[in-house]
Amino acid sequence: MASFVSGPVIGPLAPFAEGFIAQLANLSYSTQAVKSHCGLLVHLSQWLAERGLGVRELTPEVSAKFLQMRRDAGFVTKVSDRGLQPLVSYLRELGELCEPSAISSPSEELVDRFRRYQLEERGLAPDVVSNYARVARMFLGTCSEFISVSLTELSAADVSAFVLDQCGKRSVADAHNVISGLRALLRFLYVEGWTRLDLASAVPKLARRRRDLPRALETEHVVRLLASCDRATPVGVRDFAILTVLTRLGVRAGEAARFELHDVDWHAGEVLIRGKGPRLDRLPLPWDVGDAIADYLRRSRPRCSNPRLFIRSCAPFTGLSRQAVGGIVRGAAIRAGIPPLGPHRLRHTVATAVLRHGAGLPEIAQLLRHTSLQTTTIYAKVDRTALSALALAWPGAEA
């Protein structure tokens, strides 16, 4: 520790300095980055000691005052929440700090109960639950502070008014998110006894006209997309492996991000897909996907203890997010000189290719892991050859 900190650490954070340095090293931070974070720890510890504050008093408000002091003093690095996040996260993991989402009001407590219900009882994905919680905060924010009374008196007219107000200022996609989150909240409130009626059915339906059929990429564009990755660099090797997974297995971006090392069964030639909620499925591992992943593991993946398969290229070495996978796809499209696209377009490409090779809708539903065959029926519209056999002859046309 002496090589990172010049002199003894004073203040309430002194007992945590050595462990914090070890964690940064385990996350493969560079020597310079470790020194910078240690300097921040020393400064914060001294600042807390001068004010008679302990670790437990390091609340978001106190952190904001400390960072403002650094900015006022002329510091140009580690002056934002992001710079302080590694230290705060380390202290929170040790149980020294309270969770940032501390309950501060009855409505926030209800949102927290709703969030835990969706995660634990219904097993929904964290991204979905996060959207539901956002909608719940917006809706409950329209209620009075006496929330138990306000919800008891809730009516269908109140629900409709909220939907009309919100949907009038949002995109179609975001409006659908609001509606689905509101329905989930209203069902929860009824089940938990907060409302006298199940008002989920009172949420107006929003028309969604599907303008386009699923748009598959041309084979040439898929080839150019993969060829855009510079496989002489670690990032290029990783991105090529991710794009190969997406273009061959048809997984969602979040599913690719959630891959873990032990999800690939090399002996059985299978890969485990962590789907929506608690769903787990096994798919065959095509040889080219296996080769791309193996090349990434041999030449590109950083050495770290994180169980995720696809890892950030720079410290901290954590797993990629769903948004990061989307960024990799968009970046490859730009390099390949093809129109911008997202990961779901590659999923459509896989399904359409399988359909054109003679697979039926049940097989496509199994490949894409749709819970309902109704979701898969849209791909029937893509098979123009099969549809042409069903077309009636035009009246008066020659036989």
Domain co-membership, 36 together with 130: no
Domain boundary among 202, 231, 257: 202
State whether 173 and 277 are in the same domain: no
61, 93, 125 - which closes a domain: 93
Q: For the segment 2-19, what is each residue's pLDDT rounded down to a tens digit? A: 455 555 778 899 898 888
Residue keyed to tokens 């008093």: 57
Cβ within 8 Å of residue 280, ≥6 positions away = 272, 273, 274
Q: Are residues 189 and 43 in the same domain?
A: no
Residue 160 lies in a domain: yes
Query: Taking all residues of the chain, what is their mean pLDDT, rounded to a whole number?
Result: 82
Do 225 and 364 share a structural domain? Answer: yes
**49 is in which domain, residue-wise?**
14-93
Residues 39 and 71 in one domain: yes
Tell me whether residue 48 is in a domain. yes
Does residue 115 share a domain with residue 145?
yes
CA distance 366 to 363: 5
Asked if 308 and 233 sit in the same domain, the reply is yes
Same domain, 145 and 84: no
Phi-psi region of 28 (alpha: psi -120 to 50; beta: other; left: phi over 0): left
**Which pLDDT value is given to residue 213?**
54
Rounded to an integer, what is the distance from CA 200 to the centroid of its chain?
Answer: 27
DSSP character string of 180-218: HHHHHHHHHHHHTTSSSS-GGGGSPP------S---PPP
Residue 285: per-residue pLDDT: 93
Verdict on whether the full-model pTM lies above 0.75: no
What φ, ψ does residue 116 adopt, rounded to 5°?
Answer: -65, -35
The residues annotated with a catalytic role in the active site are 252, 276, 344, 347, 370, 379
CB 201 within 8 A of CB 233: no
Looking at the fold, whether 111 and 252 belong to one and the same domain comes out as no
Flag whether pLDDT at 399 surpasses 60: no
Q: Are 234 and 313 a contacting pair, CB within 8 Å? A: yes
Reply yes or no on whether the pLDDT at 291 is more than 60: yes
User: CATH code at 226?
Assistant: 1.10.443.10
Q: Could you tell me if 254 and 335 lie in one domain?
A: yes
Query: Average pLDDT of 313-324?
Result: 84
Type of residue at 62: V
179, 272: one domain: no
Residue after which a domain boundary falls, among 143, 167, 202: 202
- Helix/strand/coil percentages in the chain, nearest 5: 60, 5, 40
DSSP letter assigned to residue 226 = H
> What total number of domains does the chain contain?
3
pLDDT digits (tens, 9 = 90+) for 75-88: 888 888 888 989 98
- Answer whether 319's CB lies under 8 Å from 311's CB: yes
- In tens, the pLDDT along 218-262 reads 889 999 999 999 999 999 999 999 999 999 988 888 899 999 999
Give how far Cα 10 sits from Cα of 14, 48, 49, 69, 292, Å. 6, 10, 8, 19, 50
Query: Are both 283 and 345 inside the same structural domain?
Result: yes
Give the C-alpha separation, 369 to 276, whole Å: 9
Q: Indicate which CATH number applies to the domain containing 137.
A: 1.10.150.130
Q: Check residue 80 and give its pLDDT.
A: 83
pLDDT at 377 exceeding the cut of 80: no
